[in-house]
Chain A
C-alpha cells in the first residue's frame, strides 16, 4: 500500500533567542498551530487522523509530556486522535514522517499527521541533561565530542578551507533570499499568531540576505574553545589518530541557525484521498535510518542515502532534487562529494544556515521544501536527509504523483 503526502505546513523560523519573534509563543502553541493549519486548509475531518507524531529533541519542561497528544488536543482535533513524541535528535521530524508513512503503508492506519516542533529560545539545546553528553561513563567510552568539533573534523579530513565553507554559506543565504522574494515558500509557510490572534511572525527571520564573503570572513571560529580549552579536539584526535590538528573553520555564519519552529505533514493512503476528496501530492517511496561513527557524528547522510537508494533500486542520478540539512557547511559539502552530486540539485532554495534549524522540526520542513520545489519545477523525485547526534542519519525518498 502507498503512503501519500497530501499536504504540509511549517511555521516561519523565529530567532532562537529571547529577542526572537516566536520567543513568546509556547511550544504547544507552535505545534498546535501547524495542526490547525492542516485542518483548515484541507477542511479536514480530524477524526480520520489516527495518530499525531511529533519530533522534539529537548522533550523536557515545556516540551515534555508528549506534545503530540497535547498539541492535538490544543488544536481541537477530535478527541479520538492519539499522539506521540519521538526523538531521533535532529532527524526527529523526518523520522516522524517515516514512522507515519510506515503505519499507512502497512495498512495499520489510514492517515496520520507527522512533523515536529522545537522552541530553542524557551527550551535550550541540552536542557534535558542527557547521558550522551553528561554521563562520564558514556562520554568517555563513546569518545563524545560536541557537534561543532565533528563538523570541523570533517572539514579537516576533507580539506575544506574557511573560504570553502563560507562560500557555501553565502550561497545558502542567496538561495533563501531568492526563494522568499519569489514567493516559493508562500504556499506552505503559515504565520504564527499570538493569543489574541495577531500575527507574531510570517517570514523566516534568521536570514541575513545582505551578507558578504567579507562579513562571513570576519566571524570568529566558534569551536576553538571547545576544542582546545575544553579538550574535545584531543578526544576527536584520539579517535582519529591520523589527524594531528583540527582546522576550526565553522562559525555562527556557516553553521545552522538556532531557531524556533514547527512543521506538520498530512500523510494518508489512497482511501483517505477518496474519503476526503484531497489530492495526493507525492508518494513516500521509502526511508531508512542508520548509525555511524559517533565522534565525527555528522557523516551519516551519504551512507544512509546510498543504502536507501540501493534498497529502492535507484541511483543518485535518479533523484531530481536533494535536501541535506545544513547542520554545518562541511556536512553538506561532504554529502555532495560522497554522493557525487552537484550543488545545482541540492538545497536549491537555501538551507538551515540561512533559515535556521529548529531541531525537532527541520526534517519535516525540508521535506515540505523539496516537495514544493519539485512541483514548481515539475520534477519527479526528491531525497531528504539529515545527520543526527551520536552518528545517526535518516533519509526519505519521495516521488510526485
Chain B
C-alpha cells in the first residue's frame, strides 16, 4: 500500500487516506513522506479545496523502526541524526501551516509517525473501538519522539499532563485521549468521517493554537511554572532513581520539554531534534533498540498480534 489517495468532493472537502489495517505507519516511509508532501502542495494550491479530511489507519507498530536501526548501525553523528528528524519535522510544519484546515480521522494503532501526523492536523477524531489507541511509546525502548511530539503534546494538553505520558511511553484509549484533550472527538467507525467533514465545513480553522498570536502553553512553562518543581526538579531526580545511568532518552525527553516549551515553536522543534540527535549518537541507544527488536520479533513469531 504505497500510494496516497486524494479525492475531492463537490463541497470542496479533500479526503486523503494513508495507511491501512495491514500496514504500520511507524515510521511513515520515505516514499510516503514524499507523497504526502506532494499532496499537501496540491491541497495548498488548489482554490477549490476548502479543507481536508486525513484518514490515518495504522497497524500495531513493530519497534524500533527500521530506519532508526539503520542510523544506529551506521553509527551516525548527532548532527546526521538531528537532520533526519528535521526533515520529518519540516514536512509536518508544512502540513499545519499550509493555510487549509486538516481534520484527522484516526483508526488502529496511532503510535509514532501516525501520531506525529495526527498532531500536525488541526482537528482529530478517533475511532471508538478496542483496537484503536494513541500514544508515543518511544521512552520504553530508549527513544524520544522526533516528529514534534515533545512540543505539540505539551502545547495541546499542558506540560504537567504531557510529560508523564512521554516519559512512561503511555498508550491511551480513545476515551482517555479525548478526556486529556489530545483528540477533539470520539466517534464510531461509521460516523468518524462525517464528524471530520462537518468540522471542515462548519468550524474549520487552519492555524494551530501555537501559531496564533498570544499563544501561551496551557498551564505555563519553564522553571517558574507552578509544576516546575514537581515535573523538573523532582522529576529529574526520579529518573535517576528509576533508570540509573542507562536511559539517556528519558533525560532527553525531559530536557526537550523543559527547554522547548520555554521557546517559540520553531526553536522548540530544533531543540527536540537536537536531543534526538544526541540520543541516537550514543551506543546504549542502539543496544536497547536491538534488544527491543529481538523481543518484538519473538512476540510476532509467537502470536502474530500487536508487538508494542
Binding site for B on A (CB under 8 A): 126, 129-131, 133-137, 139-140, 144-145, 230-232, 234-235, 238
Complex contact B233–A140 (CB within 8 A) = no
Bound CA span A172–B258, Å: 42
Answer whether residue B308 sits at the interface, using C-beta atoms and an 8 A cutoff: no
Given A133-B233, A135-B223: A140 and B240 interface contact (C-beta under 8 Å): yes
Measured CB to CB, the closest approach of chain A to B151, in angstroms, equals 16
Return 14 A-B CB contacts under 8 Å, by A number.
A129-B222, A129-B224, A134-B228, A135-B223, A135-B259, A136-B232, A136-B236, A136-B251, A136-B255, A230-B234, A231-B240, A231-B242, A234-B240, A238-B240
Q: Which of B191-236 contact A (CB under 8 A)?
A: 222-224, 228-229, 232-236
* A-B contacts at CB below 8 angstroms, number: 59
A129 nearest in chain B by CB position: B223
Measured CB to CB, the closest approach of chain B to A263, in angstroms, equals 28
B238 nearest in chain A by CB position: A231
Chain A residues with CB below 8 A from B244, complex form: 238
Complex contact A139–B229 (CB within 8 A) = no
Answer whether residue B11 sits at the interface, using C-beta atoms and an 8 A cutoff: no
Measured CB to CB, the closest approach of chain B to A138, in angstroms, equals 9
Bound CA span A204–B286, Å: 60
Chain B residues with CB below 8 A from A140, complex form: 236, 239-240, 251
Measured CB to CB, the closest approach of chain A to B225, in angstroms, equals 8
Answer whether residue B289 sits at the interface, using C-beta atoms and an 8 A cutoff: no
- The 8 A-B residue pairs with the shortest CB-CB distance, nearest first, are A129-B223, A231-B241, A134-B223, A231-B237, A234-B241, A136-B236, A129-B224, A231-B238
Measured CB to CB, the closest approach of chain B to A72, in angstroms, equals 29
Bound CA span A140–B237, Å: 7
B234 nearest in chain A by CB position: A230
Number of B interface residues at 8 Å Cβ cutoff, please give it: 22
Chain B residues with CB below 8 A from A137, complex form: 251, 255
Answer whether residue B254 sits at the interface, using C-beta atoms and an 8 A cutoff: yes
Chain A residues with CB below 8 A from B229, complex form: 126, 134
Given A136-B258, A140-B240, A140-B251: A231 and B234 interface contact (C-beta under 8 Å): yes
> Which of B228, B234, B236, B242 gathers the greatest number of chain A CB atoms within 10 Å?
B236
Complex contact B233–A139 (CB within 8 A) = yes
A127 nearest in chain B by CB position: B224
Measured CB to CB, the closest approach of chain B to A295, in angstroms, equals 11
Complex contact A131–B237 (CB within 8 A) = no
4 extra interchain contacts, Cβ-Cβ under 8 A, other than A129-B224, A135-B223?
A134-B228, A135-B259, A136-B232, A231-B238
Measured CB to CB, the closest approach of chain B to A134, in angstroms, equals 4
Complex contact A136–B223 (CB within 8 A) = no
Given A136-B232, A137-B255, A140-B251: A131 and B223 interface contact (C-beta under 8 Å): yes
Chain B residues with CB below 8 A from A231, complex form: 234, 237-238, 240-242
Bound CA span A292–B259, Å: 28
> Which of B224, B228, B240 gathers the greatest number of chain A CB atoms within 10 Å?
B240
Measured CB to CB, the closest approach of chain B to A277, in angstroms, equals 49
Complex contact B240–A136 (CB within 8 A) = no
Measured CB to CB, the closest approach of chain A to B142, in angstroms, equals 16
Chain A residues with CB below 8 A from B228, complex form: 129, 134
B253 nearest in chain A by CB position: A136
Bound CA span A145–B236, Å: 10
Chain A residues with CB below 8 A from B237, complex form: 139, 144-145, 230-232, 234-235
Bound CA span A232–B241, Å: 8
Bound CA span A291–B240, Å: 24
Q: Which of B27-43 contact A (CB under 8 A)?
A: none
Chain A residues with CB below 8 A from B239, complex form: 136, 140
A230 nearest in chain B by CB position: B234
Q: Which of B137-178 contact A (CB under 8 A)?
A: none
Bound CA span A133–B242, Å: 19
Chain B residues with CB below 8 A from A145, complex form: 237
Bound CA span A135–B259, Å: 8
Bound CA span A130–B234, Å: 14
Measured CB to CB, the closest approach of chain B to A2, in angstroms, equals 43
Bound CA span A130–B229, Å: 11
Complex contact A135–B232 (CB within 8 A) = yes
Chain B residues with CB below 8 A from A130, complex form: 223
A233 nearest in chain B by CB position: B241
A143 nearest in chain B by CB position: B240
